[in-house]
Structure 1
Amino acid sequence: MKGLVGVLFLVVTAATLSGCSSDYVMATKDGRMIMTEGKPAIDKETGLVQYTDQSGHDMQINGDEVSTIIER
């Protein structure tokens, strides 16, 4: 019985934590839609937008190419 309660606790905790990170959609000026995991960060020094794509890869795009960033 204790094992079942422990597993149930882990499942509920994992479900709660997975709901904390929001996904975003970046629209580019050439019409592409880029889905991101988490909020993209804008580096003010370089002008690059850093984000994690849906495959988990860290990516960068020139901030001049991005028209909007919207939370899903």
Structure 2
Amino acid sequence: MRELASVAVLMLAVATLSGCSSDYVMATKDGQMIMTEGKPTIDKETGLVKYVDQSGHEVQINGDEVSTIIER
């Protein structure tokens, strides 16, 4: 019974934490719509926008190609 209670608490914690991260949509100047997991970050030194795609891969795109970033 105690194991069941600890599993339930763990699942509740995971559900709570997963609800905190928002997904974003990036629109590029050539018309692509890129769905991201979490908020993309902009590297001011290189001008690259780093994000995690829907497959979980970390990707970088030139910031000049991005027109807007919107939270879903």
The residue that corresponds to 1:14 in the other structure is 14
The residue that corresponds to 1:25 in the other structure is 25
For 2:11, the aligned partner's letter is: V
Structure 2 unaligned segments of length 5 or more: list them: none
Are positions 1:53 and 2:53 aligned together?
yes
Structure 1 unaligned segments of length 5 or more: list them: none
Point out the structure with the larger strand share.
Answer: 1
The residue that corresponds to 1:65 in the other structure is 65
Aligned length: 72
Normalised by the length of structure 2, the TM-score is 0.95
- Runs of 4+ displaced beyond 3 Å: none
Instruction: Quote the RMSD (CA, aligned, Å).
Output: 0.7
Are positions 1:39 and 2:39 aligned together?
yes
- Identity fraction in percent: 78
C-alpha distance in 2 between matches for 1:8 and 1:46: 45
